[in-house]
Amino acid sequence: MDTAGDVRRRLARELPQARRLSSAAARLALVATAATVARSGLLAAALAAGFGGGPPERTAGLLLGAGAAAAVQAAAARAHTALSERAAAAARTGLRLRLLEHARRLGPVRLQNLRGGDLSTLLTRGTDALGPYYTGYLPAAAAARTAPVAVLAVLALADWPSALAVALTLPLIPVFGALVGAHTRDRTARQWDLLSRLGGHFADTVAGLPSLRAFGRAGQRSRAVRAMADRYRGATMRVLRTAFLSSLVLELVATLSVALVAVPLGLRLLSGGADLSTALLVLFLAPEAYLPLRALGAAYHDSAEGTAAARRAFAVLDTPVPEGGGFARPPHPAPGDGGPAVLLDGASARYPGAQAPALDGVDLRIDPGERVALVGPSGAGKSTLLALVLGLLPPERGRVAVAGDTAWVPQRPHLFAGTVEENIRLARPGATGAEVREAARAAEAHGFISRLPDGYATALGDEGFGLSSGQRRRIALARAFLSGAPVLVLDEPTAHLDPRSEAQVVAAIERLSAGRTVVAATHRSAPLQGMDRVVTAGGAR
């Protein structure tokens, strides 16, 4: 496991644009510190001069200078924030696009092993956590490294006893912060499980409301919702009581140090051991020495969440990519092969991470226009053979060749976010609306699509309309019609369908098979009608 420091260094290395922007921001933070020192110094000098009844032109000049310093300070802060935000945006976008690119190179089969939900979350909310890391933590860390030292140097030049007092109390902040942090970390971690379970209760109960209502339990659950939320509150407050202790300590150190500096200064002024201008400067500047350290303590969470997100992203990026990529269409058959549409020549295949090959030395030759049914018990390698033909899995040994593009009807075709029409058109982006409808008619899909709320314009996907298995497959069949690909690959096209849907899918397949080469994996008899040849998987050798 990499340490947080390793992850931070790797972020800097792998996202150079974000690093350049954030180091520019860090340099501007120095300008802002200098402007703050100047503003305080000039204001202190003006007040001291006016106190002694100095010439009004002199105080006015000093005040004008302080105003100018305030303007520089604001401008530097503005630019600093803008650069940090651009760094955050560059980091988010950069990491997201790299993750997408890597996912693409991994290919669909390896992507499945990564658990898609996690990767989707990482691509959105997960990488969002990099924002506060770049806009909160990195600037605070940069300021904490430079500003206290710079302020301390100015203090030392102006008044060394005060500088000494600040220098002695300043280290207490990280020391106490670490002590309180170490004390509360275990306790917080123990509460975390409970917190996330209590926090999820509301969503779970809302999702279960139809069941609760069906059994007449909805009324009493409203009380349970309040009770659980109150338990959540109790558990959270237990965590916060200790978590806020560290901020309490940091603030106490910072405010007490003001008293620690101001009271002796007053006494020295009394005895003539200091002048007013210096004393006011010290009073204005001392808090500025503590501020960056307190800000860094507050940004601790930004850092932890940002590095956690980056660590997850790097784990994905470190997944090895197979040679030639995870997806590669099989080549055309060689001139000497005798013109088959599909050829498997001693092909073996193994799923990533699997011990045994899923297919071992398979020979299969399908002529153009031939329709082949692939039968056999589950686990015999029917789906693996289809994956080889489609290019989803590269052959480990032997050779796979396919003449031309393939059209595919998987068991559960993916519905993309978009309208029904866009989902079909995916197979041929240039197709007209009429061509899309014609393909849908041929796939027996036009009828149900017309009955959808918005017909072909109905939105599908996560937040859109759900379709049944049979309807999904007819969408995929419409895609196949539209693509015009000469080789048609069907994976259990009628599994889990009711008799009527099955009849529609079979009719569409018969229409689609005309003039095409077909490979269909199946364990049902319906799609076998009209097949030219039945091949038993495991016996394909």
Judged by CB under 8 A, the chain residues 469 through 488 that form the site for another protein are 470-471, 476, 479, 483
User: How near is the Cβ of 3 to another protein at its closest, in Å?
Assistant: 29
Nearer to another protein, 2 or 300 (CB): 300
CB of 253 to another protein, least distance (A): 9
If binding is defined by CB under 8 A, does position 69 make contact with another protein? yes
- 237 touching another protein, by CB under 8 A: yes
Count CB neighbours of 231 within 10 A.
Answer: 15
Q: What 3 state SS string does 404-435 have?
A: CCEEEECCCCCCCCEEHHHHHHCCCCCCCHHH
Question: What residues form DSSP beta bridges with 400?
Answer: 344
Residues 143-182, mask of contacts with another protein (x by CB under 8 A): ----------------------------------------
List 33, 169, 494, 501, residue binding another protein (CB under 8 A):
501
Among 187, 221, 365, 441, binds another protein (CB under 8 A): 221
Is residue 519 part of the contact set for another protein (CB under 8 A)?
no
Rounded to a whole number of angstroms, the minimum distance from the CB of residue 112 to another protein is 8
Q: What tokens does 145 get?
A: 């490294």
* Chain residues 384-403 in contact with another protein, contact rule CB under 8 A: 390-392
- Tell me the residue type at 112: Q
Choose between 167 and 298: whose C-beta lies nearer to another protein: 298
β-bridge partners, 459: 419
Q: What angle, rounded to 10 degrees, do the helices at 469-483 and 499-513 form?
A: 10
**265 in Cβ contact with 274 (< 8 Å):** yes
Nearest alpha-carbon partner for 361 in 337, 328, 396: 396
Of 183, 185, 397, 414, the residue at the interface with another protein (CB under 8 A) is 414
Please pick, from the candidates 8, 15, 25, 59, the single residue that binds another protein as defined by CB under 8 A: 59
Which among 106, 92, 78 is positioned nearest to 322, based on CA atoms? 106
Please say which residue, 327 or 456, places its beta carbon nearer to another protein: 327
Which residue's entry shows tokens 């058109």? 425
Site for another protein in 18-57 (CB under 8 A): 39, 43, 46-47, 50-51, 53, 56
Question: Per CB under 8 A, which region of 8-16, 22-30, 92-100, 344-352 contacts another protein?
Answer: 92-100
Question: For 465, which DSSP code?
Answer: B
Q: Hey, which residues between 441 and 470 contact another protein (CB under 8 A)?
A: 448, 451, 453, 461-463, 468, 470
Q: How many residues bind another protein (CB under 8 A)?
A: 133
Q: Which own/partner contact pairs does 163-170 have at CB distance under 8 Å and 24+ positions apart?
A: 165/257, 165/260, 165/261, 165/264, 166/257, 166/261, 166/286, 166/289, 169/253, 169/256, 169/257, 169/260, 170/289, 170/290, 170/293
Structural tokens at position 531: 């097949």
Out of 149, 164, 178, 267, the residue judged to bind another protein by CB under 8 A: 267
Q: Which stretch binds another protein (CB under 8 A): 62-70, 140-148, 350-358, 367-375?
A: 62-70
Question: Binder to another protein among 30, 167, 212, 495 (CB under 8 A)?
Answer: 212
- The answer to whether 120 contacts another protein (rule: CB under 8 A) is yes
Binder of another protein out of 327, 382, 403, 437 (CB under 8 A): 327
Which residues in the 329-388 window bind another protein by CB under 8 A? none
406-409 and 487-491 beta bridge pairing: parallel
* Shortest reach from residue 346's CB to another protein, in Å: 24
Task: Tell me: does residue 430 bind another protein (CB under 8 A).
Answer: no
- Phi/psi at 227 (5° precision): -60, -45
Encode burial over 349-372: b for 16+ CB neighbours within 10 A, e otherwise: bbbeeeeeebbbebebbbeeebbb
Q: Does 100 bind another protein (CB under 8 A)?
A: yes
Question: Alpha-carbon distance 22 to 87, whole Å?
Answer: 6
Strand, helix or coil for residue 295:
helix
DSSP label of 377: -
Instruction: Considering the complex, state which of residue 149 and residue 225 has its C-beta at the smaller distance from another protein.
Output: 225
Residue among 336, 326, 318, 308 nearest 122 (CA): 308
- Segment lying near another protein (by CB under 8 A), choices 163-171, 185-193, 218-226, 376-384: 218-226
DSSP-derived secondary structure for 309-344: HHHHHHHHHTSPPPTT-S--PPPPPPGGG-S-SEEE
**255 in contact with another protein (CB under 8 A):** yes
Q: What are phi and psi of 345, to 5 degrees?
A: -125, 95
Could you say which of 6, 204, 363, 510 contacts another protein (CB under 8 A)? 204
Q: Which amino acid is at 458?
A: T
Minimum gap (Å) between residue 299 Cβ and another protein: 14
406: contact with another protein by CB under 8 A: yes
- The tokens describing 506, both together, are 């079979």
Q: Which is nearer to another protein, 112 or 529 (CB)?
A: 112
CB of 328 to another protein, least distance (A): 9
Q: Which stretch binds another protein (CB under 8 A): 74-82, 177-185, 334-342, 349-357?
A: 74-82
**In the structure encoding, which two tokens stand for residue 120, read together?**
């989707």
Q: Which of the ranges 94-102, 147-155, 337-345, 352-360 carries the binding residues for another protein, by CB under 8 A?
A: 94-102
